[in-house]
Structure 1
Amino acid sequence: MSTAIRVLIVDDEPLARDRVRELLADAPDMTLIGECRDGTEAIAAIRAERPDLVLLDVQMPEPDGFGVLSAVAHEYQPAVIFITAHRDFAVQAFEANALDYLLKPFDRERFHQSLARVRERRRTGATELDAELIERLESLSHRLPPASEPYVKRLVAKVGWRMRFLRVEDIDYLEAEGNYVSVHQGKQSYLTRETMNALEEKLDPKDFVRAHRSLIVRLDRIEEVEPLGPGEMVLTLRDGTKLTSGRSYRARLQRALDLPT
């Protein structure tokens, strides 16, 4: 009988999936059985394929990583290694009984340390986290220093069959469009399959402001602000584009633009 460990990769970022796939190729006892781009695909794949190990992103189109595990919890519980750029989820990862928590960016050695944990669990049949890992997960949440590069420098958008890299400094604004977000750069716009909440966390608040539940604007593109009714504002960008803010975001805009209250 084959002793290969069957692995499923779940991450909404193509470059991240490519990186994990590359590192996984160094482990001959690991067999990649599939890749998923969002929580819905992941739930279906886990139910259908019953992987031994899921390399699972935390933040992605709904449901997120924890939602995926919750959805399949009563049916099947694979070993899980969380892979994320957000250290704040460490304690939740522990509570979800993850074998490990890889904080992006991680190197080849750190990745293979995680795989060693999977092998050890399979060898011993253990299902609980060891004390050393529990302590490290708690430390991730409470004691790690701020990341040196906490915000992204580019986003990835799909253009036909190709993936286009969008420099953050070239973005004028982002606008929700159904299950996607439209990223506007001058006269061009591109769709990316991320939530507004996820994108807001990835973008530096010194450069961008959430102006509406469906709108994020680059601050240095705003040329004029005009009050519109109770709480709302019309934001005029350098190119003449006019955008309307949401009432509940008024205070946030005032702080970001240093407007009088």
Structure 2
Amino acid sequence: MNAPPIRTLLIDDEVLARLALRQALAAHTDVEIVGECGNAAEALQAITVLKPDLLFLDIRMPGMDGFKLLHRMKPDALPMVVFATAYGQHALRAFDANALDYVLKPIDQARFDQAMTRVRQHWLGLQAHAVSTPIAPMTPATPLHVQRISVRIGESIRVIATDDIDWIRADGNYVEIHVGGASYLHRETLRHLLDVLDPARFLRIHRATLVNVERIREIHPLFQGNAEVVLHNGTRLSLSRRFRTHARRVLGMA
């Protein structure tokens, strides 16, 4: 699938910071910069008119900061967001605000390119979801969800087929991906993985846990509506009461 350009809006009160973003984006030919804003009030108007796909957003700006800007927007109208800021202490809050990544200034091109890889992966997933073919239904050969996840290990990158994943657990700003007897730490949010992984295969059983339904062997009920999920390899995971109703439906439990 040939995805359309990623229409991008730069929001930062410093002209030089916006210039640095333009320079960092120059290597990414699938990005179209549709505008720049020097404060959040301008950005709200620009987002309404331009309807960008991606925001590069500073946090500390005069009048209204980046978090308040996102709070003012409707969740269903929120573009992809990458924070670009000089303040590293806001990273956790940024991911809680559903940002795809958090890039520190001054911008390091290699780190910036990693962020763009994450943006591009998410963008392709969104485009796949948006595909509508009323005349000819989509065939299984055209997957709606990501089939592989690339995980950096030292200087190399390990490509993991999603079918091979046993379970995933959130760990701060990272996730632990468990495959066979190995686990891989991957800089990604669980919320993003929920967007791009096949919900028919990956079941959320806890606030911080996804499991491949094909790996589930048994469910053991516990007290107060909780339960324990046992995988074929013997791994035991908690199924919280919050997600039990959905799990019962997906697993065909009476």
Aligned AA for 1:256?
V
Contact 2:81–2:101 (CA<8 Å) still a contact in 1? no
Partner of 1:58: 80
What is the Cα deviation at residue 9 of structure 1? 3.7
- Aligned pair in 2 of structure 1 residues 242, 162: CA closer, same or farther (>3 Å)? same
Select the residue among 180, 183, 191 that pairs with 1:189: 183
Contact 2:80–2:99 (CA<8 Å) still a contact in 1? yes
Select the residue among 116, 124, 130 that pairs with 1:85: 124
Contact 1:196–1:213 (CA<8 Å) still a contact in 2? no
Partner of 2:150: 156
For 1:6, what is the secondary structure of its paired residue? helix
- Aligned pair in 2 of structure 1 residues 65, 209: CA closer, same or farther (>3 Å)? closer
* Alignment RMSD: 4.0
Please give the alpha-carbon distance, in whole angstroms, between the structure 1 residues aligned to 2:153 and 2:100. Answer: 30
> How high is the sequence identity, in percent, across the aligned residues?
29
- Aligned pair in 2 of structure 1 residues 179, 144: CA closer, same or farther (>3 Å)? same
The total of aligned residue pairs comes to 161
What is the Cα deviation at residue 67 of structure 1? 10
The unaligned stretches of length 5 or more in structure 2 are: 1-20, 33-53, 62-78, 83-93, 103-118
Select the residue among 186, 202, 209 that pairs with 1:208: 202
Partner of 2:192: 198
- Aligned pair in 2 of structure 1 residues 104, 257: CA closer, same or farther (>3 Å)? closer
Partner of 1:99: none
For 2:22, what is the secondary structure of its paired residue? strand
Aligned positions of 1:214-229 closer than 5 A: 214-229=208-223
Structure index of larger Rg: 1
- Aligned pair in 2 of structure 1 residues 160, 46: CA closer, same or farther (>3 Å)? farther
Partner of 1:240: 234
Aligned positions of 1:242-261 closer than 5 A: 242-260=236-254
- TM-score, normalised to structure 1, is 0.51
For 1:258, what is the secondary structure of its paired residue? coil
For 1:183, what is the secondary structure of its paired residue? strand
Contact 1:85–1:104 (CA<8 Å) still a contact in 2? yes
The unaligned stretches of length 5 or more in structure 1 are: 11-16, 28-38, 48-56, 69-81, 88-102, 106-139
Aligned AA for 1:225?
I
- TM-score, normalised to structure 2, is 0.52
What is the Cα deviation at residue 59 of structure 1? 6.3
- Aligned pair in 2 of structure 1 residues 66, 155: CA closer, same or farther (>3 Å)? closer
Please give the alpha-carbon distance, in whole angstroms, between the structure 2 residues aligned to 1:255 and 1:198. Answer: 23
